[in-house]
């Protein structure tokens, strides 16, 4: 029998979920910031690394793609393990291994070693993103989850704001010290934070509210009641009993196709922005890092506004697809803007804001469809399918850049894939199903009690 608002424990929900968010979100956000910096710092490193080691843009693009090959192969197994050992231990395992591999990347002096390091980094990071989303689903009901997902996704723009300038500063300042190249210092210093954060996660995180000593019994009961009400509202066929049921659900594959467009756009934003800026006429590596930090500043604010509006209206499809369509238009415009650094920065800022907004809303949808252990597996399948696009698009763009001397055609092809993903979302995901699954906002009872 569905849980009614009256049957839920009389705990002010806004205060409760604010307490939960303040406890877990800062550390989880820091982990994602470091994850994305270590994943994408190669975009800044390649400005010098290619010249030092004689690598072509094709070698760079293939190495970026191999990260996602490792990611693909181990994404689902990692999240099957998550369902057995819990999110906390899974996140710790992932962070410790990716920190060590980032450190080891400083020793990659041949294409083969570079390929191997990027592949192993993908293996190490596999499961972190869906694992974190699964972790959020254990603490926040669906009516609040998009806002928390948006807060978690702040890690992407924050990594874009902090990563390039820090990476540029490291390379500009430390290059040649102790016999290490500038790009080697980058990998050494940026491989240490995930190891430290992994230890902090082990100490301060709990897998579920039931094990949280900092929550009182009424607060634990309130969260459990809200999450139970979510499960009662799942649409028919959404309550999978395990991974195999999730794999047989066609909706998982529809969302996976949409994620292909999201990941194609993510690659354009994350791995090619420094090269796009460099190609527009900016040569200094520190200047490239500082300019690359501008687009995420706009993206961070817009992402939060869009996530909040999506939660208030309980509308997901057009918020996600509309943002992706706008970002695709910016990609096409970028292909005609080379040589004008001011216009390039404006277009990158608009594209980044749209991309972050669409991605945030989109990744709140899988947890509405799926529940329990199948949620981790289902989200992993969605991200794995997106990773296929992430594995092929960098290699394609690198080959196009090496062959034609320009990224223009690659940006236009990427835009077409992004538009296709948005269309699949609008045509393949029924709006009514999402509204029914979200149900009434669990904040309403709390507000009425406070006012009364």
Q: What is the pLDDT of residues 310-337, one digit of tens each?
A: 878 888 889 999 999 999 999 899 888 8
pLDDT at 52 over 50: yes
Q: Considering the domain boundaries, does residue 186 fall inside one?
A: yes
Query: What's the length of the chain?
Result: 452
What is the per-residue pLDDT for 179?
A: 87
Domain-embedded: residue 234 = no
Residue 403 pLDDT greater than 80, yes or no = yes
Nearest alpha-carbon partner for 418 in 280, 349, 350, 323: 323
In this structure, what CATH number is given to the domain that contains residue 45?
1.20.1250.20
The more confidently predicted of residues 224 and 249 is 224
Residue 10 lies in a domain: no
The answer to whether residue 151 sits within a structural domain is: yes
Residue range 417-428: mean pLDDT, rounded: 91
Q: Is the pTM of this model over 0.75?
A: no
Read off the pLDDT band of 444 (50, 70, 90): very low
> Quick check: is 415 in a domain?
yes
Considering the domain boundaries, does residue 214 fall inside one? no
Q: Is the pLDDT of residue 271 over 70?
A: yes
> What span, in angstroms and rounded, lies between the C-alpha atoms of 157 and 164?
11
Burial class, 413, CB count within 10 angstroms (exposed 0-12 / middle 13-18 / buried 19+): middle
**What is the mean predicted confidence (pLDDT) over 295-303?**
83
The predicted-structure confidence for 233-270, as pLDDT tens digits, reads as follows: 655 544 444 556 667 778 788 888 998 888 887 777 67
Query: 87 is in which domain, residue-wise?
Result: 21-206+242-442
The yes-or-no verdict on residue 7 having pLDDT over 60 is no
Burial class (CB in 10 A: 0-12, 13-18, 19+), 409: middle
Query: Is 41 a domain residue?
Result: yes
What proportion of the chain, given as a percentage, has pLDDT over 70? 87
Q: Which of 83-92, 204-213, 431-440 is modeled with the greatest confidence?
A: 204-213
Q: What are the φ and ψ backbone dihedral angles of 164, each rounded to 5 degrees? A: -60, -45
pLDDT at 451: 35
Dihedral (C-alpha) 80, 85, 88, 92: value to the nearest 10 degrees?
-80
Number of domains in the chain: 1
Residue 290 falls inside a structural domain = yes
| Phi, psi of 363, rounded to the nearest 5 degrees | -80, 5
Mean pLDDT of 220-241: 70
Query: What Rg value do the Cα atoms of the chain yield, rounded?
Result: 22
For 84-122, the DSSP string reads: HH-HHHHHHHHHHHHHHHHHHHTT--SHHHHHHHHHHHH
């Amino acid at each position: 029998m569905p849980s009614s608002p009256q049957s839920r424990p009389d705990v002010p929900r806004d205060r409760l979920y604010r307490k939960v968010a303040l406890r877990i979100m800062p550390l989880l956000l820091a982990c994602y910031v470091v994850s994305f910096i270590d994943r994408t710092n190669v975009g800044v490193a390649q400005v010098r690394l290619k010249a030092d080691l004689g690598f072509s843009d094709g070698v760079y693009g293939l190495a970026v793609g191999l990260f996602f090959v490792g990611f693909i192969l181990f994404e689902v197994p990692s999240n099957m393990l998550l369902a057995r050992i819990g999110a906390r231990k899974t996140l710790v395992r992932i962070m410790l291994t990716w920190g060590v591999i980032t450190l080891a990347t400083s020793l990659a002096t041949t294409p083969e070693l570079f390929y191997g390091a990027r592949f192993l980094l993908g293996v190490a990071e596999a499961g972190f993103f869906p694992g974190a989303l699964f972790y959020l689903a254990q603490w926040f009901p669906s009516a609040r989850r998009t806002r928390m997902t948006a807060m978690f996704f702040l890690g992407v723009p924050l990594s874009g704001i902090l990563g390039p300038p820090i990476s540029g500063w490291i390379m500009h300042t430390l290059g040649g010290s102790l016999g290490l190249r500038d790009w080697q210092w980058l990998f050494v210093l940026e491989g240490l934070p995930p190891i430290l954060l992994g230890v902090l996660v082990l100490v301060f995180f709990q897998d579920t509210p039931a094990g949280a000593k900092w929550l009182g019994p009424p607060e634990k009961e309130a969260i459990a009641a809200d999450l139970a009400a979510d499960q009662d509202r799942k649409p028919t066929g959404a309550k999978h009993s395990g991974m195999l049921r999730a794999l047989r659900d066609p909706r998982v594959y529809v969302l996976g196709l949409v994620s292909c467009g999201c990941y194609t756009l993510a690659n354009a934003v994350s791995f090619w922005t420094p090269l796009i800026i460099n190609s527009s006429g900016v040569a200094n590596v520190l200047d490239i890092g500082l300019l690359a930090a501008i687009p995420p500043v706009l993206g961070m604010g817009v992402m939060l506004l869009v996530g909040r509006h999506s939660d208030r209206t309980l509308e997901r499809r057009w918020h996600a697809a509309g943002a992706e369509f706008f970002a695709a238009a910016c990609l096409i415009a970028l292909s005609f803007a080379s040589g004008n650094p001011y216009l390039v920065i404006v277009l990158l800022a608009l594209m980044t804001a749209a991309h972050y907004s669409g991605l945030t809303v989109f990744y709140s949808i899988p947890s509405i469809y799926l529940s329990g252990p199948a949620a981790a597996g289902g989200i992993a399948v969605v991200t794995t399918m997106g990773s296929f696009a992430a594995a092929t698009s960098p290699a394609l763009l690198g080959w196009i850049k090496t062959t034609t001397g320009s990224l223009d055609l690659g940006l236009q092809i990427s835009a077409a894939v992004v538009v296709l993903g948005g269309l699949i979302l609008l045509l393949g995901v029924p709006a009514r199903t999402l509204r029914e699954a979200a149900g009434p906002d669990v904040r309403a009872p709390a507000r009425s009690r406070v006012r009364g």
